[in-house]
A and B are shown apart, each in its own frame.
Chain A
Amino acid sequence: MATKSPIDDPRIDPRTGEYAVIAPGHTFRSVTQKIAGLVLTSNTPLGWFGGLTVAGGIATLLVVAMTWLFLKGVGIWGVTIPGAWGFAIINFVWWIGIGHAGTLISAILLLFKQTWRNSINRFAEAMTIFAVVCAGTFPLIHLGRPWLGYWLFPYPNTMNIWPQFRSPLAWDVFAVSTYAAISVVFWYIGMVPDFGTLRDRAVMPFAKYSYGMLSMGWRGSTRHWVRYESAALLLAGLATPLVLSVHTVISFDFAVAAMAGWHTTIFPPYFVAGAIYSGFAMVLTLAIPIRKFYHLEDLITLRHLDNMAKVMLATGCIVGYGYMMEVFMAWYSASHWEFFMMWNRMFGPMGWAYWTLILTNLAIPLTTLWSRKLRVNVVYLFVLSLIVNTGMWLERFVIVVTSLYREYLPSSWGTYRATKWDYMTFVGTWGLFTFLFLLFVRFLPIIPISEIRMMLPQSKIRPGGADAETVVEETL
């Protein structure tokens, strides 16, 4: 029986025998000019100013809501007893989860030698950092006295008090602060060679000076590259267990509590899968407009979108398994409380949230993403990414609220209703995120230039190549 030879596959580059991820015809100089040009151009597109104004306007809502919060206290939010956790923790978990895809793309796919990631890892990492900024805001402003936030860290003080290390909330401080620090370092180190390129191509003295300082004098020395690659690989190897641990620790905030619907061992893997699911959705939400507005279709190709949609399909299936297991365990545990919690989650007064979640997170994506046609349909993927992000937000809403508002004692049942300040804070963080992201696409290289150079076929010296024959003969 004849099998289809991979040579016939039009997506394979005949020169390298690998799947081509960059459109053909590019040279080192052309990709450098294309990406550096986005940053160094002197005419900023008007749309960028428009976007920055809108995003800044929305971010102002956050400033207003936080100012009022600091003046009045957390009473302006909808959190009460029994619903003591509300939007703040929902949004915190949602934003952190979105950040996780950035680390996954930059670290895990690097370890698996998935070179297609090179086009998207820089802005996925930027997305991580800005998402962590938005996420970190929520626990801080939920403290009641946020100006004492540094009490969370173990530091010698005249009060002689220390954090309580048996509490998952203290673990959270360590996990999220480590995550933020490592993400920033990884991102910055990754940009150093590109800052060197920008320094050398900049015309304006201020740009030359700024990128020169940021590049720290990078000159592309081979010995530097060897140490650099070693450090990048180590950081990737460290970021991989880190990203898995961060959402695990966040799930401990719930799983360690003796609350029906929270106290389950499936939470850590199920939270991590959900985080990656929503994170890839957010990468698509950002990548699709960026490649359109900046004409990067050659560098962020349909293959990238297809691959990301496949990752979403896989993690979506894990999330679906998590939902099924929650329902199964609610029955199989024979716990009255678990059973009631699940019944209440599905058919109680907030059942609409559960069924919308099933529709947006499972029914729509997991039925359609199997089709390659839809996976490379840009408009469909964009809409789907928004749907999945909504679904993942609802998942956190369902987990936080439905377990709390009808807990063990029926006499203390209540409900949860978010106030306009909750909504303003949440919407404000979208503005903050978009604002930071727009600054990033204007002033920093959104695609790693040196890594794109490595993906071009002419970057490799390989035996058999016309230019390499002499080298191989003489050196080996």
Chain B
Amino acid sequence: MTPREGIYGLLAEFNTPAELVRATEKAHQAGFRRMECYTPYPVEEAAVALRFHKTSVPLVCLLGGIMGMLTAFLMETWITVWSYPMNIAGRPLFSWPAFIIPAYEWTILFAGLSAAFGMLALNGLPQLYHPLFNAPNFRDGASTDKFFLCLEATDPRFSILDTRAFLEQFAPVSVVEVEL
């Protein structure tokens, strides 16, 4: 069934994380894939129910760290050996043990910034507008004490009536249509 125009999805509100996880798990078993949970704090079990375990944040962080280390060490080597050679207390020009310290700091700097900005980029943030903010109960709930499951209209199994009936069997506080 084609999704109705102008609908982002159906948003079910729950009072406890346990109810949310049960509904999510059932929705996954029923074949829904384009769905998302919204919680006021990280609920690990919800991620398990969504089958979302792997993130690429650690990889981004690792690549950033390697880049930082190479940048700093090669820069120091180039500066000290070729660009601006100076005799400091008779030490060799390529005095690599001294270069380790700035390289260590830049490894951490690049890795940390990559982890933080990589996380934001993978999350698609900043994104100041989102259709969910149109739902009347979303903004006071998802950031305070309510637990939401949104089945999105782009899912091939989505149908406005059947999906609503499906969600209502989990006894949610409410099921709301989210305008696009």
**Chain A residues in the interface with B (C-beta under 8 A):** 27-29, 32, 154, 160-167, 170-171, 174-175, 177-178, 181-182, 185-186, 189, 192-193, 196-197, 199-201, 212-213, 216-231, 234-235, 238-239, 241-242, 245, 249, 252, 450-451, 453-454, 458-459, 461, 465, 467-468, 470-471, 474-475
In the complex where A227-B55, A453-B40 touch, is A166 in contact with B75 (Cβ < 8 A)?
A: no
B83 CB within 8 Å of chain A? yes
Enumerate chain B residues within 8 angstroms of A227, measured Cβ to Cβ: 55, 57, 119, 122-123
A216 to B133, CA, bound (A): 13
Least CB distance from A193 to B in Å reads 8
Q: Total number of A-B contacts with CB less than 8 angstroms? A: 222
In the complex where A181-B113, A475-B49 touch, is A468 in contact with B144 (Cβ < 8 A)?
A: no
Enumerate chain A residues within 8 angstroms of B91, measured Cβ to Cβ: 166
A164 to B39, CA, bound (A): 51
Enumerate chain A residues within 8 angstroms of B72, measured Cβ to Cβ: 174
A450 to B115, CA, bound (A): 20
B18→A461 contact, CB < 8 A: yes
Specify the chain A residue showing the minimal Cβ separation from B125: A216
A196→B84 contact, CB < 8 A: no
* Among B22, B75, B111: residue with most chain A CB under 10 A: B22
Q: A185-B116, A230-B57 are in contact. List 13 more A-B contacts (CB 8 A).
A: A32-B144, A171-B101, A178-B105, A182-B113, A185-B113, A193-B143, A201-B143, A219-B38, A450-B40, A453-B41, A470-B18, A474-B22, A475-B21
In the complex where A161-B84, A216-B128, A231-B119 touch, is A226 in contact with B52 (Cβ < 8 A)?
A: yes
A18 to B45, CA, bound (A): 20
Fill in one digit per residue for B49-75: 1 if any A CB lies within 8 Å of its CB, else 0: 110110101100100000000001001
Enumerate chain A residues within 8 angstroms of B143, measured Cβ to Cβ: 32, 193, 196-197, 199-201, 218-220
B122→A28 contact, CB < 8 A: no
Task: Point out the residue from B41, B47, B49, B125 that lies within 8 Å of A454, measured CB to CB.
Answer: B41
A213 to B126, CA, bound (A): 8
**Chain B residues in the interface with A (C-beta under 8 A):** 16-19, 21-22, 25-26, 36-43, 45-47, 49-50, 52-53, 55, 57-58, 61, 72, 75-76, 79-80, 83-84, 86, 88, 91, 95, 98-99, 101-102, 104-106, 108-109, 111-113, 115-116, 118-120, 122-123, 125-130, 132-133, 138-140, 142-145
